[in-house]
């Protein structure tokens, strides 16, 4: 009887919850094109993570920072390929972290959805926080008298966030992630403009503290910055959703989408790491656009002001790509795989969407600085979704004893190695984040050019020190 109940529970789960939130009995065929799938993966990955790469490199130095960027990117592409292998291994269209874990490691199935829900909710909240801050700064730059004569900055920012919420409601209540192609492209264009802005305004002679070839931060400081590199390449929570919606999917097509998304991301991440660090040295902020806003030489330039507006638009446009996997995983946790009627499924989906929007909005209004939260989300959520679970599930799904060819065996051992390393990183980076947050040790800065001596030199006089407090 127990075995029969487990079969029924799994059947209900596969036919309802894992149908990418399609209504039971009225499912439409897969229709997403390669371009549509690519926009989903690219915009999921390209976001707030690139804004902090230069700051992380200020602690790690050029050599370690660039090394971590490429290692994180290569590992992310490898684990995306592993997910694609598991998608094609299944004889069902609807495959997810949950269904794969249910089949090969049932005890781990809840870990996956909890990690996805936390990660997606945290990143989505960060998107709204960045949107509110940048849009408010843009409005105050255009009409500085608002804060003095009409309303406080807090009130204005709250209204901006509420306005953004209303704009995104029609997209957020959709059922399919592939229906956001146009808004994804707009977001990618906005982020690209920010990167171009950082390149154009690069000024090697501006920073009095210079850069460093080698790490300047302590071990805890560097370990606390590693999650930024992991977070930057994370888009894995939507790979299964893309696999569900892709028309005539094959592993080659799935790998092509993943590879193109990673390459486009790397083309934006690399200059985002280099240019702001060259300009501001050790004083570069965790959001390099804020460093530009603190630079009195350029902060009133139309291009810089438009950059803040572009960033706000890019971040809010990415929010649905975090809400969809958060909603899907939460539905799995709430229903525990039980089959729902058409009306009940629709009602629950709408309720969860409203709750997630409300929680995101409230946190974004009352908490403006989510730097620590992003670090925690990066190591807990992104590390689990991007590295730990894909490699663990691949090793469970493909038995090493049944693998005969050499390349497949190498892939299995590489998966095991990545799984072990990423699992070890979790407690190390988590402790480092807590330690550096409590102690707040400042970064020792380098005078002059690369490899300079340590210093605590004052920021350039062109900085607005009041707005430059991190």
CATH number at residue 376: 1.20.1740.10
Query: Residue 369 belongs to what domain range?
Result: 34-455
Q: Which residue has the higher pLDDT, 353 or 245?
A: 353
Of 41-45, 47-51, 357-361, 442-446, least confident by mean pLDDT is: 442-446
Give Cβ neighbours of residue 372 (< 8 Å, ≥ 6 apart). Answer: 433, 437
The gap between the terminal CA atoms of the chain, to the nearest Å, is 60
CA distance 262 to 251: 16
User: What is the residue whose two structure tokens read 């997209």?
Assistant: 171
d(CA 226, CA 67) in angstroms, rounded, equals 11
Report yes or no on 283 lying in a domain. Answer: yes
Most confident of 44-58, 69-83, 93-107, 305-319: 69-83
Residue 464 lies in a domain: no
Quick one: DSSP state of residue 49? G
pTM value? 0.81
Q: What are phi and psi of 463, to 5 degrees?
A: -75, 140
Give the pair of three-digit tokens for residue 321.
């790509």
Would you tell me how many other CB atoms lie within 10 Å of the CB of residue 464?
13
Query: How many domains is the chain partitioned into structurally?
Result: 1
Per-residue confidence (pLDDT) for residue 24, from 0 to 100: 38
Task: Point out the least confidently predicted range of 269-283, 325-339, 389-403.
Answer: 325-339
So what's the pLDDT on residue 208?
57
Q: How many CB atoms are located within 10 Å of the residue 234 CB?
A: 26
Report yes or no on 126 lying in a domain: yes
pLDDT digits (tens, 9 = 90+) for 69-125: 999 999 999 999 999 999 998 878 788 887 888 888 888 888 888 888 888 888 888
Q: What are phi and psi of 244, to 5 degrees?
A: -70, -40
> What is the average pLDDT score of the chain?
82
Spatial separation of the C-alpha atoms in residues 113 and 331, rounded to whole Å: 9
Burial of 416 (0-12, 13-18, 19+ CB in 10 A): middle
Integer angstrom CA distances of residue 365 from 46, 118, 147, 160? 24, 19, 17, 9
Residue 27 lies in a domain: no
What is the structure's pLDDT at 331? Answer: 87
């Amino acid at each position: 009887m127990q075995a029969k109940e487990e079969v029924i529970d799994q059947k209900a789960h596969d036919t309802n919850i894992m149908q990418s939130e399609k209504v039971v009995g009225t499912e439409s065929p897969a229709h997403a094109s390669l371009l549509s799938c690519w926009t989903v993966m690219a915009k999921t990955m390209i976001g707030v993570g690139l804004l902090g790469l230069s700051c992380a490199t200020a602690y790690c130095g050029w050599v370690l920072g660039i090394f971590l960027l490429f290692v994180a990117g290569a590992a992310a592409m490898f684990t995306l390929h592993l997910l694609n292998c598991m998608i094609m291994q299944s004889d069902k269209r609807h495959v997810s972290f949950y269904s794969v874990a249910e089949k090969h490691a049932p005890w781990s199935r809840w870990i996956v959805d909890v990690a996805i829900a936390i990660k997606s909710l945290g990143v989505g909240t960060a998107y709204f926080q960045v949107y509110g801050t940048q849009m408010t700064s843009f409005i105050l730059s255009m009409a500085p008298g608002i804060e003095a004569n009409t309303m406080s900055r807090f009130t204005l920012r709250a209204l901006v966030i509420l306005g953004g919420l209303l704009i995104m409601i029609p997209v957020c209540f959709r059922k399919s992630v592939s229906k956001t192609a146009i808004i994804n492209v707009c977001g990618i264009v906005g982020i690209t403009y920010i990167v171009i802005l950082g390149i154009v305004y690069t000024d090697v002679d501006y920073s009095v503290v210079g850069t460093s070839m080698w790490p300047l931060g302590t071990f805890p400081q560097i370990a606390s910055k590693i999650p930024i590199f992991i977070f930057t390449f994370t888009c894995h929570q939507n790979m299964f959703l893309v696999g569900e919606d892709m028309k005539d999917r094959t592993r080659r097509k799935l790998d092509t989408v993943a590879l193109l998304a990673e390459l486009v991301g790397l083309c934006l991440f690399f200059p985002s790491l280099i240019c702001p660090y060259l300009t501001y040295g050790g004083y570069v902020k965790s959001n390099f656009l804020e460093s530009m806003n603190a630079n009195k030489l350029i902060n009133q330039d139309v291009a810089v002001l438009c950059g803040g507006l572009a960033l706000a638009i890019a971040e809010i446009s990415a929010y649905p790509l975090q809400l969809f996997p958060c909603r899907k995983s939460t539905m799995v946790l709430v229903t525990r795989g039980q089959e729902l009627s058409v009306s009940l499924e629709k009602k629950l989906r709408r309720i969860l969407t409203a709750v997630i929007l409300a929680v995101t909005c409230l946190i974004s209004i009352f908490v403006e600085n989510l730097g620590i939260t992003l670090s925690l989300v990066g190591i807990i959520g992104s590390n689990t979704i991007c590295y730990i679970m894909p490699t663990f599930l691949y090793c469970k799904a493909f038995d090493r004893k049944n693998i005969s060819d050499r390349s497949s065996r190498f892939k299995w051992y590489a998966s095991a190695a990545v799984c072990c390393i990423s699992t070890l990183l979790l407690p190390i980076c988590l402790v480092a984040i807590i330690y550096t947050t409590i102690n707040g040790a400042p970064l020792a800065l380098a005078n002059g050019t690369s490899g300079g001596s340590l210093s605590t030199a004052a920021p350039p006089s062109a900085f607005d020190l009041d707005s430059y407090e991190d």
